[in-house]
Amino acid sequence: MPDSVLQPLDFKEFSFQYAGKLLLRKEILLNEPSFQQLLANNLLTAKKSIIQKNFHYQCQRCGNENPHLFAKLPCQRCHHTHRYCRKCIEMGRVSECELLYYWNGTEPDWSYHVDPCSWKGKLTVVQQKAADRIVDAVQQKESELLVWAVCGAGKTEMLFPGITEALSTGKRICLATPRADVVRELLPRLQSAFQAVSIQALYGGSEDKLGAAQLIIATTHQLLRYQKAFDVMIIDEIDAFPYHADKSLPYAAKRSKKSQSTTIYLTATPRKEHKKAMRRKKLPHIFVPVRFHGQPLPIPKKVMCHGLNRDLNTYFPPSAFLKWVKSRKNPKRQLLIFVPSITLAENIKPFLSMHLRKVGILLSEEKLQSVHAADVDREEKVQAFRAKEIFILITTTILERGVTFPSVDVAIFDAGHDVFDEAALVQIAGRAGRSPDDPTGEVLFFHDGKTEAMVQAIDSIKSMNKRGEFLK
């Protein structure tokens, strides 16, 4: 066999590493001779990364066509000035002189797992109904299915039978979610539930870089590096920012699927367009109105605070909050405090700590922390709160969804702020009462004037409880 031809074993290895990918040269972890060998054997194929369509340009990685999101810069490699895409630059610069590469060889044969699920829990009757519907969608290769399940319904566990079905028939699965915090939380849960299955987690800063496992957990941004890769695509929290607000993410999710594939959407708070599609029977769905422990969703209480903006502008906690926190129904519960900005999260912390230590609610300064998207210690703080090393955590909307703490009360400072839309308020309220041992956490909206979003959020929660037959 000529030296220029790769061995069959190498073909198989490379197919698992690169099939279903759309990568820049620097993302292909091969030395130059091996890379050129794959190109020469037509196993890797190159395509332009930015193309001209009529009178505008389009990025072939993220789909961007907005002329304001393209710019030019001189290229040190070829000494010309090139157009590059600013939309997806955080994933590595895509410029006109850079090519994208995709696998053109034999598709990998993913394992057919016999009884891959090692989870020993038991689904409730309502959960099992939803799980069976997911399994049916995977078996029948249905194009789409939306699972509308209230916060705390146990969506992850409801996925296990569908994932089991896919793995048992040699399919490849991606569970994509908008936020890295959720990826980090899901990884150990899925590793525990599918112990014999190769699983990798992909997000900014993750240890795994290759993304070549049969079961991938990823932020939706990571899908920009995939093309025709997955038989089953599960998109968690489709209503969440940034997925619903960034056209490139649905674009990447659609491209990441194989032509014959099933997409499962998960949400507790579907957007108007999803509800409209469901009403018109354009989007198959199943509704789960009950939490896994069978108890109702906590109904938030609105607390009017005169002079709230004045207090918060000077980083003084609302007096109504200080009064409530001293008389909580269960003072042993941890406390999550949501605020509308990073500035407020950071600056209110010392003042709140001082007041709570003065009245004996906080034992030490270290027991109260703040966290936000720009916090370099974000992951460690969330884990410390989960381990109850932190008693009170001030947070922005980064923790509004996808994270589970067993016993917390929830407070929102300035609940009428624009950042807290109906979906955010419902999701934040859903952080409370998630454990069967403590299903009744308190949720308070501290505000200086009720908003439509607050009213709609409370009405939505009451409606969910009514559909779950808690209210008559």
> Any residues with CB less than 8 A from the CB of 393 and at least 6 apart, and which?
334, 335, 336, 337, 368, 369, 370, 371, 381, 382, 385, 399
On average, the pLDDT of the chain sits at 92
Adjacency order of strands within the sheet including 334-338: 301-304, 443-447, 408-413, 334-338, 392-395, 368-371
The pLDDT of residue 54 is above 70: yes
**What backbone torsions phi and psi does residue 71 show, to the nearest 5 degrees?**
-145, 175
pTM for the model stands at 0.89
Confidence band of 159 (pLDDT split at 50, 70, 90): very high
The pLDDT value given to residue 313: 95
For the packed helices 452-467 and 422-429, what is the interaxial angle rounded to 10 degrees?
50
The pLDDT of residue 6 is above 50: no
Q: Show the tokens assigned to 63.
A: 């789909």
For residue 176, count other CB atoms closer than 10 A to its CB: 28
The pLDDT of residue 124 is above 90: yes
Section 427-432 average pLDDT? 96
The pLDDT of residue 48 is above 60: yes
Section 196-208 average pLDDT? 90
Span 405-417, pLDDT tens digits? 999 999 999 999 9
The closest alpha carbon to 225, from 247, 210, 241, belongs to 210
The pLDDT of residue 3 is above 60: no
Q: How far apart are CA 405 and CA 472, in angstroms?
A: 29
Span 438-453, pLDDT tens digits? 999 999 999 999 999 9
Q: Is 463 helix (H, G, I), strand (E, B) or coil?
A: helix
Inter-residue contact 217 to 163 (CB < 8 Å): no
DSSP letter, residue 402: S
**Percent of the residues in the chain that have a pLDDT greater than 70, as a whole number:** 97
Q: Show the tokens assigned to 311.
A: 């207090």
Inter-residue contact 460 to 451 (CB < 8 Å): no
For residue 15, count other CB atoms closer than 10 A to its CB: 18
The pLDDT value given to residue 21: 96
The pLDDT value given to residue 467: 86
**Percent of the residues in the chain that have a pLDDT greater than 90, as a whole number:** 80
For the packed helices 155-168 and 180-193, what is the interaxial angle rounded to 10 degrees?
60
The pLDDT of residue 4 is above 50: no
Inter-residue contact 208 to 201 (CB < 8 Å): yes
Span 105-117, pLDDT tens digits? 889 999 999 999 9
The closest alpha carbon to 225, from 187, 267, 174, belongs to 174
Span 212-254, pLDDT tens digits? 999 999 999 999 999 999 999 999 988 887 787 889 999 999 9
Distance of CA 232 to the CA centre of its chain: 17
Inter-residue contact 178 to 240 (CB < 8 Å): yes
